[in-house]
Chains A and B, each alone.
Chain A
Amino acid sequence: MGNVRLLLQWFLGLAMVVIILGAFLWARPAASFVGQSSRIVFFHVPQAWVAFLAFLVAAIHSGLYLKHRRIENDEAAAGAARLGIVFCVLATVTGSIFAKVMWNSYWNWDPRETSIVLLLLVYGAYLGLRGAIEEPERKATLSAAYALAAFVTVPFLMFAVPRLYSSLHPDTVINARGKVEMSTDIRVVFFSSTAAFTALFFWLFSLDRKVSRIVREASLRHEQELAA
Chain B
Amino acid sequence: MTDLAPAANVPAYGALFYVAAVNIIIWAGIFLYLVYLDRKVRDASRHLSSEGKP
Counting CB contacts under 8 A, is A191 at the interface? no
> B24–A21 contact, CB under 8 A?
yes
Please classify how large the interface on chain B is, using the bins under 10, 10 to 19, 20 to 34, 35 or more. Answer: 20 to 34
> A218–B48 contact, CB under 8 A?
yes
Which one of A13, A23, A210, A218 contacts B41 once the chains associate, using CB atoms below 8 Å?
A: A210
> A17–B38 contact, CB under 8 A?
no
> B37–A207 contact, CB under 8 A?
yes
Which one of A23, A39, A204, A213 contacts B45 once the chains associate, using CB atoms below 8 Å?
A: A213
A212–chain B nearest beta-carbon distance, Å: 10
> B48–A207 contact, CB under 8 A?
no
Known: A210-B41, A218-B48. A20 touches B35 (CB 8 A): no
Counting CB contacts under 8 A, is A16 at the interface? yes
Contacts of B42 in A (CB 8 A): 2, 210
> B23–A207 contact, CB under 8 A?
no
Counting CB contacts under 8 A, is A211 at the interface? yes
Give the dominant DSSP class at A's interface: helix
Which one of B13, B19, B24, B44 contacts A17 once the chains associate, using CB atoms below 8 Å?
A: B24
> A20–B27 contact, CB under 8 A?
yes
Contacts of B48 in A (CB 8 A): 214, 217-218
Contacts of A214 in B (CB 8 A): 41, 44-45, 48
> B34–A203 contact, CB under 8 A?
yes
Counting CB contacts under 8 A, is A36 at the interface? yes
**CB closest residue in chain B, given A12:** B31
**CB closest residue in chain B, given A36:** B16
Give the dominant DSSP class at B's interface: helix
Q: CA A42 – CA B50 in complex, angstroms?
A: 43
Q: CA A214 – CA B28 in complex, angstroms?
A: 27
> A24–B27 contact, CB under 8 A?
no
Q: CA A207 – CA B41 in complex, angstroms?
A: 7
Q: CA A9 – CA B39 in complex, angstroms?
A: 11
> A17–B17 contact, CB under 8 A?
no
> A203–B38 contact, CB under 8 A?
yes
Interface residues in A1-49 by Cβ distance below 8 A to B read 2, 9, 12-13, 16-17, 20-21, 23-25, 36, 39
Q: CA A36 – CA B45 in complex, angstroms?
A: 45
5 contacts between A and B (CB under 8 A): A13-B31, A16-B31, A17-B24, A24-B23, A25-B20
Write the residues of chain A forming the contact surface with B, with a CB cutoff of 8 angstroms.
2, 9, 12-13, 16-17, 20-21, 23-25, 36, 39, 203-204, 207, 210-211, 213-214, 217-218
